[in-house]
Amino acid sequence: MSKPIRSKFLLSFYTSFVVTNEANNKCVDIDSLNEPVGEYFAKNVVPKLEGLHKGDTGKIVVVGGSSEYTGAPYFAAISALKAGADLVYVLTTASAAPVIKSYSPDLIVHPTLSPSTFTAIEAVLRKADVIVIGPGLGRTPETVHLTANILNTCRTLRKPLVIDADGLYVISKDVTLVKNYPSPGIIMTPNHLEAKYLKKAVEAVAARGGQGDILSGSLGTFFGWALKANVCASVPTFAAARLTRACNEIAFAAHGRSMTASDMLLQIHAAFEKCFGEL
């Protein structure tokens, strides 16, 4: 495993990742552990089930979806829920909302992703422990502008972020949106092509192969747990990548080349038990 580097961002990859040291240097980071990361995560980050109330294991908001793309925000949101979050909200467009609602009654879907309803958007963002931005957003100029406004609002609210997919495209167009972002900070999950966009943009200001929406959703949940446990972002990033890979391995063993993301979703519980013990 590579040494953490000091950067403004944390980039998560499916098989490897680049880690930051957060502004709060007292948090527990991977390099300070005396035991395997997965074991530490299971013992010290995963919330115990006894005595919990609704919302205690995480309130995640997924910002994404469009008329063309309804699967991506669903996969991210349901992965956050299946990984252990209590409440998951999807902020999406009016055209995408009925479709996403039809996929699952377990998600709270808000059809308010529009500049004309920004007050309603902010009200949902305020509820979040962690916000996942990007799955299925699309890249129209109107969407890019709206997403930039959402990122600025998240900065003001000091909300921890996971940024994936089209959210990364927005940042590549204006990296100042995340420059000097306040603690607890941001985790970004680029695939190889997205990483090339970001590398060019980030170098100017800060000297998949298979990730996907299951990673960003589960990472949103794990990031929230880690913040409550005062554990640096490197630990939940490792855990989410490990969980996603285990889902892939278990689903591929059952379905081979016909495996789909839906097959992987069904393996989240088994993968969690394999990696970290009982959920």
Please state the residue numbers annotated as binding site for ATP. 203-212
CA dist., res. 134 & res. 242, Å (int): 21
In which element (H, E) is residue 1 found? none
Lookup result for tokens 């490197």: 234
Contact 233, 19 (CB under 8 A): yes
Annotated binding site for (6S)-NADPHX: 136, 191-197, 213
Binding residues: 136, 191-197, 203-213
The CA angle 100-162-147, to the nearest 5 degrees, is 70
Which of these, 278, 245, 176, 225, lies nearest to 27 by C-alpha position?
225
* CA distances for 13 relative to 189, 191, 194, 214, angstroms: 6, 7, 11, 13
User: At which residue do the structure tokens 């902010």 appear?
Assistant: 122
Per the CB < 8 A criterion, the answer to whether 246 and 274 are in contact is yes
| DSSP string for residues in 38-62 | HHHHHHHTSPPSTT--TTTT-EEEE
